[in-house]
Chain A
Amino acid sequence: MIKEKMDRLKDMRGGNLILIAIFSSIIVAVMITGLGMAYYQTKIRDMGLVDEQTNKSYAQHYALIAGDDDDYFWDSVYKGALEKGKNQDVYVERFGENLPLDYSVRELLKMAIAARVDGIILKAGDDSETTALIDKATDAGIPVVTVLQDAPKSKRQSFIGVNHYSFGKKYGKQVLDAADQSFSKVLVLLDEDGAGKNQNIILSGIREVLDGAKIATETLAIDRQSAFSSEEAIREVIVDTENMPDAIICLNTVDTVCAYQALVDLNKVGEVEIIGYYDSDIVLEAVNKGIIHSTIAINTEQMGSYCVEALVQYKKTGNVNKNILVNSQLITREEGRR
């Protein structure tokens, strides 16, 4: 009797076991399939196959045209403009970036006009052709703001730039800060091709400060049209030990990096002070190491942000400040560490 009861119990347990087995295997099957597929999906996503086409659309499309020189600077400006734009339902395109050919600013401007963008942010030139194109754009209803370099004769809506004179004075003060008794000569690296007006204002700012300290200011114009000229020119200056300046002032990032690299390569660190431009990572590192005395940076993200703000404001109100100045900031070794 007891055995029978046991058997019966076993039977019932057997029935339940089957049910449990069915359900648990369904669950396990679903789970393992889900897990496997989830693993697969993450693997694919890691590899980037599933194109995450966010495809977020914006109400307006602005073009940022800056040419291809000094990428550090313009990357940062673009970053500021893009972030600001996204807050205002504007997408800012770094115009021409994906094209296989290097187009000039003027050609890119033509394209932007043809592409009927909603606004143009332009590093302008002072030439008449650019001015005419800016006028053509504004005539076609596309507002244009110039940035860093102005086209004052054009119908551009606004200029976002820096006070070059005070910018130059800042440079001068840094030279004084770095100077000891033996300081007698400072070399300023300039562009040969143009944008002459801004350069000259900066230079006069520097001279204003250094003349008072009886330090001679020399300039070296570098031909930007031929490739790699910057690096060669700076090297020549440093190799020439007799006429070597006590300090070199660089007005752009490329010059700054070249000067720094030349010092390191030629083992002249400490003999020549560099007052650099901009706060790219390489430059910041050099400041930290003490190879570059200090850098003066334009708040580039702010600059980009102002450009977008100016365009948005103009679009909204039909009016905007003709000149907007961006802060500049000094980065010394102590600040660089931070």
Chain B
Amino acid sequence: MSLKLKSDFTIRTKLVLIFTFASVIVFGVNLYMYSNINSDLKVIENVYLSNRSLNELGGVLGEVQDSMYEYLNTKSSAALEEYYRSGQEFSSYLDDMNGAASEDYASLMEKNIRNMSLEYLEEAETAVTAKRGRNIEKYKESYENATDTYQYISTYIYSLNNEQFRDNSNNYEILLVSLKYLEIITTVILFVITALNIILIMFFTNSITTPLRRLAKAADEVAGGNLDVLLADTQYNDEVGVVSKAFNKMTVSIRDYIAKLKESMESESRAKEKELVMETHLKDAQLKYLQAQINPHFLFNTLNAGVQLAMMEEAENTGIFIEKMAEFFRYNIKKISEDASLREEIELVESYIYIMNVRFSGEIDFRKEIDESLLEARIPSMVLQPIVENAVSYGIRGIEWAGLITLSVSSTESGVLIRIQDNGRGMTEETIAKVMNGELKKEDSDKNSNGIGLGNVISRLKLYFGTEDVFEIRSGGTDHGTEVLISIPASGISGLSEADRRIEQVSK
């Protein structure tokens, strides 16, 4: 039987097989031994049978002799009849006897008995015939011859009987001893085979219980919380094999389900957190903005009236100034809650610088180095202007030398780099760290501010692009100017930002 075949057996079949196998072996051994004993017994029985038939032969021979004598003595027809009958019977016995010259003394004696008997029958027949023919001389002689032969035959039969009986007695003794031997040998054989069977059964039951134990152990582990248990694939397709496979499937699916659940919970909480932060910042910015303005529509209308008035009085510079102011505030109102293109942001910075230059009579030298192709990149609104405002307020205001602010937009390997550089007072490392960590609170009462601090800007940039290193401040130290770098990742250049996408996903 092949391994494959065996593996497909169920436990029931296996058990039946084991017990059948064990029984067959024991049965076979017993059968073999009984056949041995039987063959030995047959040897004895054969000899006893021959003994019996010899006795019968002797009996019939006696009948022939007696009836012949009786006939010769009395010439009675009854005796003659008896003579013929017994002679016939005697002949029939002789037919079964050995007639060949054999090495075996018993067979040889049988042959001699047979031949002498034939001789005897002939002689007896001669005697009987002579008696009928009244040949007195002849029948007397034949009778004497027959009687001699009769005696020889009787001696032979007696002798052969004796020999066989002696042999039988010997054989009987030997058989008794041999039966003792057989008993011992049989016991030993059965003992060994029983031991073998027990070992075999242990093997078999082990093959059944080992997977069961393994299954129980695995179940214990699962109960203890370890879902990473995977049962070894048993090669048995029996009941335990089926259960093992089902167990494996169960643990795998439980594990998958838990993993999925965990993932969806995590992403949900992440999104919620982000939304909350975003909202907080927006609220903060809006609050600041609302504090900073009073009825902007009224302000625009007023400013527009101012532009028209300046036109009528042909005061062109005043008109442009007021117009820029109006643009600046409009942008503020419109854009605070949305993102904007880089172009819009830069326009806002330009308006701001113009206003500032009018205010502070052209103190600020503002230069742009811009890659026009990058101007459509989207960034959160109200980012560049607060930075420039910072550069003006804390960088170049009040310095002895001519202030210079440079805005450059260039493409890098990883996206777009926006750089705002001033040649003002510069910042200490300590201050930079404080700003980056949002610890430096801007004074709300600053009258030159539109109300949005750097901390707010940094937070919004980080949220918008979903990365931490979007904003960087560098400074050569006190009086060596400051440089602010905004690195927009390539994925944030066009279309929706990553953060937007994530937020959208969550809200769906």
Q: Which residues of A contact B (CB under 8 A)?
A: 4-5, 7-8, 11-12, 14-19, 21-22, 25-26, 28-29, 32-33, 36-37, 39-41, 43-44, 47-51, 53-61, 90-91, 93, 98-101, 110-111, 114-118
CA distance in complex: A51, B119 (Å):
31
Cβ of B467 < 8 Å from any Cβ of A? no
Contact partner of B185 (CB less than 8 A), chosen from A19, A36, A50, A90, is: A36
Complex: how many Å from CA A326 to CA B182?
54
- B309, CB-defined interface residue at 8 Å: no
Number of B interface residues at 8 Å Cβ cutoff, please give it. Answer: 72
Asked if B170 CB lies within 8 Å of chain A CBs, one says yes
Contacts known (A91-B108, A111-B152, A115-B112); A100 close to B158, Cβ less than 8 A:
yes
Question: Which one of B201-209, B272-280, B483-491 is at the interface?
Answer: B201-209
Is B313 an interface residue when CB atoms closer than 8 A count as contact?
no
A29 to B23, CA, bound (A): 12
New A-B contacts (17) at CB < 8 Å, excluding given A5-B232, A47-B174: A11-B210, A11-B232, A28-B196, A29-B193, A32-B189, A44-B174, A48-B174, A49-B174, A50-B40, A55-B102, A55-B103, A55-B104, A58-B100, A98-B160, A99-B155, A110-B152, A114-B148
- State in angstroms the CA–CA spacing of A328 and B412 once bound together: 139
Q: Is A58's CB under 8 angstroms from B102's CB?
A: yes
**Residue among A28, A59, A111 making CB contact with B116, cutoff 8 Å:** A111
Contact of A15 among B3, B33, B105, B120 (CB under 8 A): B3
Q: Which 8 pairs from chain A and chain B are nearest by CB? A: A61-B101, A7-B232, A57-B100, A115-B112, A116-B115, A49-B174, A25-B196, A8-B232
Q: Is the CB of A21 within 8 A of B203?
A: yes
- Considering the chains assembled together, what is the distance between the CA atoms of A174 and B182 in angstroms? 62
Closest to B162 in A: A100
Q: Which of B1-59 contact A (CB under 8 A)?
A: 3, 6-7, 21, 25, 28-29, 32-33, 36, 40, 43, 47
With A49-B40, A55-B104: A36-B210 Cβ-Cβ less than 8 Å: no
- Count of CB-CB pairs between chains A and B under 8 Å: 162
- B118 interfacial contact with A, CB 8 Å: yes
Inter-chain contact A43/B181, CB cutoff 8 Å = yes
Question: A-contacting residues of B (Cβ < 8 Å)?
Answer: 3, 6-7, 21, 25, 28-29, 32-33, 36, 40, 43, 47, 100-105, 107-109, 111-112, 115-116, 118-120, 148-149, 152, 155-156, 158-160, 162-163, 167, 170-171, 174-175, 177-178, 181-182, 185-186, 188-189, 192-193, 196-197, 199-200, 203-204, 206-207, 210-211, 214, 230-236
- Contact status A56-B102, CB under 8 Å: yes
CB-CB < 8 A to B28: which residues of A?
33
CA distance A26 to B162 in the complex (A): 48
Contact assessment for B189 and A16 in the assembled complex, using a CB-CB cutoff below 8 Å: no
Residues of A within 8 A of B200 (CB): 21-22, 25
Distance between Cα atoms of A55 and B210 in the complex (Å): 63
Given the interface pairs A29-B29, A110-B152, the reply to whether A50 lies near B232 with Cβ below 8 Å is: no
Decide: A15 and B102 in contact? CB cutoff 8 A.
no
B192 touches A28 (CB 8 A): yes
Residues of A within 8 A of B105 (CB): 98
With A29-B25, A33-B32, A40-B185 in contact, is A98–B102 under 8 Å at CB? no
Select one of B33, B177, B235 contacting A12, CB under 8 A. Answer: B235
**A149 → chain B closest CB, angstroms:** 24
With A18-B203, A36-B188 as given contacts, are A114 and B196 in contact (CB-CB < 8 Å)?
no
A55-B103, A110-B152 in contact; A93/B108 too (CB < 8 A)? yes
The complex places the Cα of A116 from the Cα of B120 at a distance, in Å, of 11
Contact B199 A7 (CB under 8 A): no
B112 near A40 (CB under 8 angstroms)?
no
B230 with A44: CB separation less than 8 A? no
Bound-complex Cα distance A12 to B211 (A): 12
- Tell whether, in the assembled complex, residue A49 and residue B189 are in contact, meaning their CB atoms are under 8 Å apart: no
Q: Are A49 and B43 in contact, with the CB atoms below 8 A?
A: yes
A-B contact pairs, 20 of them (CB 8 A): A5-B232, A11-B211, A15-B235, A18-B6, A28-B196, A29-B25, A36-B186, A47-B178, A48-B170, A49-B174, A49-B178, A51-B43, A51-B167, A55-B104, A56-B102, A58-B101, A58-B103, A100-B155, A110-B152, A116-B118
Q: Which residues of chain A are near B192, meaning CB under 8 Å?
A: 28-29, 32
| B189 x A114 contact (CB < 8 A) | no
What is the CA–CA distance of A14 and B241 in the complex, to the nearest angstrom? Answer: 14
B56 to chain A, nearest CB (A): 20
The one of B120, B159, B178 in contact with A99, judged by C-beta atoms closer than 8 angstroms, is: B159
Chain A contacts for B120, CB-based, 8 A: 114
Which residue on B lies nearest to A19, using beta carbons? B3
Q: Which residues of chain B are within 8 angstroms of A7 by Cβ–Cβ distance?
A: 214, 232
With a CB–CB cut-off of 8 A, which chain B residues contact A43? Answer: 178, 181
- Residues in A with CB closer than 8 Å to B162 are 100
A5 to B231, CA, bound (A): 10
> What are the residues of chain A within 8 A of B160 when measuring CB–CB?
98
